[in-house]
Amino acid sequence: MTVTDPALLAEALRQLPHGPEFRFLDRLLELDPGKRGVGEYTLRGDESFLRGHFPGDPLMPGVLLIEAAAQLAGVVAQSDPAIPPLAGLKLTALRGVKILGSTQPGETLRIEAAVTGRMGKLVQAAARVELHGAAIATVELTLSGEANSV
C-alpha cells in the first residue's frame, strides 16, 4: 500500500537524522513502506556549497546527488512496518555509481529509491536521481545501523 497522505509523508521526512542544512529531500511524493519511495529536492541557489562549486556557474556536487538518494533510501528502509527502525542508520557502501549530469539553482530533482535486500543491520537499496525525466545519477548503496534496544 502506497502512502500518499501529505501529513504522513512529512512525518516520514522528519525521521531523517540530518539537520535541515544537510537534508536533500524537500518532499516525499510516494512511500510504499519498507519497499520504495519517490521524493523531490529543489536546488534553491542559496545553499552554502554552491559558493565554491562553481563560482559563477553553480552546480550541485555529484556526491550530494548520491547523498539525496541515500537519504530517501533511509526513509524507505526505516518506514517498514514489519521491521523496527535501525538506530544510527548511515550510508556505508556504494556500488555502480554513475553521475550522468548535474543540476543548477531553480531546478527540481526527482529521486527514486527501492530497498532491494536486508540482512541483519544492513540494508541494500537501488536509487535513481532524475532531472526533467532523464537520469543524472544512479547508485546501488548499503546502509547500516544498530538494532534498537527496548
Mean pLDDT by groups of 10 residues along the chain of 150 residues? 72 78 91 95 94 91 97 95 93 98 97 97 98 98 84
Place of cell 535541515: 20
- Write out the three cell numbers for 91: 550510508
Confidence at residue 11, expressed as pLDDT on a 0 to 100 scale: 76
Cα–Cα dist 111/59, whole Å? 17
Question: Looking at residue 34, what is its pLDDT?
Answer: 95
Active site residue 18: no
Please write down the long-range contacts of 119-128, taking CB distance under 8 Å and 24 or more positions apart: 121/86, 121/145, 121/146, 121/147, 122/92, 123/73, 123/77, 123/86, 123/89, 125/70, 125/73, 125/76, 125/77, 127/69, 127/70, 127/72, 127/73, 128/69
Question: What pLDDT shows up at residue 108?
Answer: 98
Length of the chain: 150
Prediction pTM value: 0.92
pLDDT on residue 5: 74
Q: What cell does 4 get?
A: 500518499
In order of start, what are the domains of the chain with their CATH numbers?
Answer: 6-147 (3.10.129.10)
Q: Please compute, for residue 31, the number of CA atoms within 13 A of its CA located in the half-sphere on the CB side.
A: 27
Q: Which of these is catalytic: 27, 35, 53, 128?
A: 53
Give pLDDT, residue 150: 53
